[in-house]
Structure 1
Amino acid sequence: MADNVESQERATQEAARPSQPDLVIITGMSGAGRTEAMHTFEDLGFFCIDNLPPSLLVSLVTSDSIPGGTADGRRHLAVVCDARNRSYFRELARELVKLKAQGITYRIIFMDAADDALLARYKASRRRHPMCTDNHMTIAQGIQKERAMLSELREIANMVIDTTDLRPIELRRAIARAFEGGSDQEGLGVIVYSFGFKHGAARDADIVIDVRFLPNPYYDPDLRHLTGLDAPVRDFVMGRPETQEFMKRWKSLLDCVMPGYVAEGKQQLAIAVGCTGGQHRSVAIAEATGAYLKNQGYRVHVSHRDLSRADIDKHTEGGR
């Protein structure tokens, strides 16, 4: 993997570059994985545009109409620029000067692959190479023409990714490590939420766990109108021998399946924890599950789907 990714950091960019740049320019050889790279940036929270002429870069970055934004207050954009003629490099060079003058940070990713690999991919896809539009050139000749045309662009790239022997999942990991940082676990966003079966099943979850077998705090008058976010209910649920045995096995199951999701390149995972009404047991277990996964290095968000229904359930027997 390391042999396939050449990082060529530019001193002029390094001093001012934030953890993520304002703009990522994805370019390189046709068939080398530009589209897959763009999809990865979409998963990282970038606003992405395909096939943007270089002359529009500054207008794009400075436009107030671009949606999105991240926790650091910046908008992060990724564009795929398809080099179809020799004037492309001159246009791009002019725009990069303008970007730098305005304090806009950027990085250029050049997607590359060996000629034989590119040739095989085009033959397998049966697509026309963009250099062969006049039918006077073979695919191999088109690849050679494009490589010569892009040689200067490759030289100024901040990162060259050779996808000759990379599977798509390996390409996604390489980009995520370079632009997101952190561990592989942090590349998987986990949503843990509680719900009540009486209010409907969890239809959008990847994993659903039913905790209705645990003792129900609803039947304790002092706990009935509290929720799993309150310490007395949490202590009741988590302190029971049944819960302690369940949590031991539940954590073992998570330890088994979570690395598999990471290895497969899954970007988001939803775990739903259900009890009868979604007020007591599922809330406490969802909170404990979220805390455990955060401690394992995953990016976790915990929510409670039916907690707002407490007043509706107040007079429903066994409703929690």
Structure 2
Amino acid sequence: MNIFNIFIITGQAGSGKSTALAAFEDAGYYCVDNLPVTLLPKFMEIPIAKETHYRGIAFGMDLRERTFLKSYRSVFDELKQAGHKLKVIFLEADVTTLTRRFSQTRRTHPLAVGDKGVMDAINQEREELLALRNEDAARIINTSSLTVHELKKVISELAADSHHRTPLKISVVSFGFKYGVPQDADLMVDVRFLENPYFIPELKPHSGLAPDVRDFVLNGEGTRTFLLKYTDLLDFLIPMYQKEGKHYLTLGVGCTGGRHRSVAVATEIHNHLKRRYSDIRLLHRDIGREE
């Protein structure tokens, strides 16, 4: 039997549990929302729970399942006895914040049935969850003053193993502006200011991967200074993106046709970054297009 890190994401409705689950999924966890707690041991027996490439499993559980409070403790104890590492993460917020969130999203509170209003439902839920919060939660997170991005950052830090954080996946993409910019680019640089090999008859037929074209571009006026300054900027920015919990970063390098200058420069940027980052790929989007 595989032993898993299991996180139970619970707490008050409107406190950010969906955001927390999304953060766990980004961190490499298999996530399930609103699974009846009594089915948890059975779930651990199905094939998906035996996939070893997941870093763990995160479950969203709360009072949407009205039998949750009656059953959770015995089920959690059973999983712990089986060797799984189970932690309860409890999310909450103050009444004013929760009321505002339900008003803004026009969602219905799960306990607001009949003539009961949102505020009464929030107070009832708080009372019913008190024992779970005080006795079983490994971490209590008040999201009243947290933005979505701040909450994701907190959860990402919880989800990440202290010895192995999810690496940032970097893509360096060369492209031609005449064919449109990459829609997923986070950072984009225009290298059309560099001298164009397209106008050199003996270089025009070849791409920026050819040694003669590459040398022409990289040894051109201003290219080395540009690369020094731009890679220095990237060396500053990328750790900042990592600190904010970003998992994917796409760098676009564009010239007119995406065949000469952008290819040579993108390759040079990729070679610089791969000395620092393990999960990096290089894509020449438009290199095969006819001029």
In the alignment, the residues of structure 2 paired with residue 98 and residue 235 of structure 1 have an alpha-carbon distance, to the nearest angstrom, of: 65
- CA drift of 1:171 comes to 0.8
In the alignment, the residues of structure 2 paired with residue 221 and residue 104 of structure 1 have an alpha-carbon distance, to the nearest angstrom, of: 65
Cα-Cα RMSD: 4.1
In the alignment, the residues of structure 1 paired with residue 82 and residue 211 of structure 2 have an alpha-carbon distance, to the nearest angstrom, of: 52
Q: Does 2:43 correspond to 1:60?
A: yes
Q: Does 2:60 correspond to 1:80?
A: yes
Residues 59 and 194 of structure 1: is their aligned pair in 2 closer, same or farther, counting only changes over 3 Å?
farther
Paired residue for 2:19?
36
Residues 202 and 226 of structure 1: is their aligned pair in 2 closer, same or farther, counting only changes over 3 Å?
closer
The letter for the 2-side match of 1:170 is: E
Aligned length in residues: 285
For normalisation by structure 2, the TM-score amounts to: 0.74
Deviations 1:55-112 (A, max 9, x none): 2223334322579x6xx73364322112246641342223323433444443321111
Paired residue for 2:170?
190
Q: Does 2:149 correspond to 1:169?
A: yes
In the alignment, the residues of structure 2 paired with residue 45 and residue 85 of structure 1 have an alpha-carbon distance, to the nearest angstrom, of: 26
Q: Does 2:162 correspond to 1:179?
A: no
The letter for the 2-side match of 1:117 is: T
Q: Quick one: percent identity of the two aligned structures?
A: 35
Contact 2:156 2:245 in 1 (8 A): no
Q: Please show how residues 181-220 of structure 1 align to structure 2 within 5 Å.
A: 189-196=169-176, 200-204=179-183, 205-215=185-195, 219=200
Task: Tell which deviates more after alignment, 253-262 or 35-44.
Answer: 253-262
Contact 1:85 1:149 in 2 (8 A): no
For normalisation by structure 1, the TM-score amounts to: 0.69
- CA drift of 1:138 comes to 4.1
In the alignment, the residues of structure 2 paired with residue 86 and residue 243 of structure 1 have an alpha-carbon distance, to the nearest angstrom, of: 65
Residues 124 and 278 of structure 1: is their aligned pair in 2 closer, same or farther, counting only changes over 3 Å?
closer
Contact 2:36 2:65 in 1 (8 A): no
Paired residue for 1:94?
74
Secondary structure in 1 matching 2:47: coil
The letter for the 1-side match of 2:284 is: H
Secondary structure in 2 matching 1:111: strand
- CA drift of 1:265 comes to 6.8
In the alignment, the residues of structure 1 paired with residue 196 and residue 45 of structure 2 have an alpha-carbon distance, to the nearest angstrom, of: 56
Paired residue for 1:304?
284
Residues 222 and 293 of structure 1: is their aligned pair in 2 closer, same or farther, counting only changes over 3 Å?
closer
Task: Tell which deviates more after alignment, 209-218 or 75-84.
Answer: 209-218
Paired residue for 1:117?
97
Secondary structure in 2 matching 1:146: helix
Paired residue for 1:143?
122
In the alignment, the residues of structure 1 paired with residue 188 and residue 176 of structure 2 have an alpha-carbon distance, to the nearest angstrom, of: 12
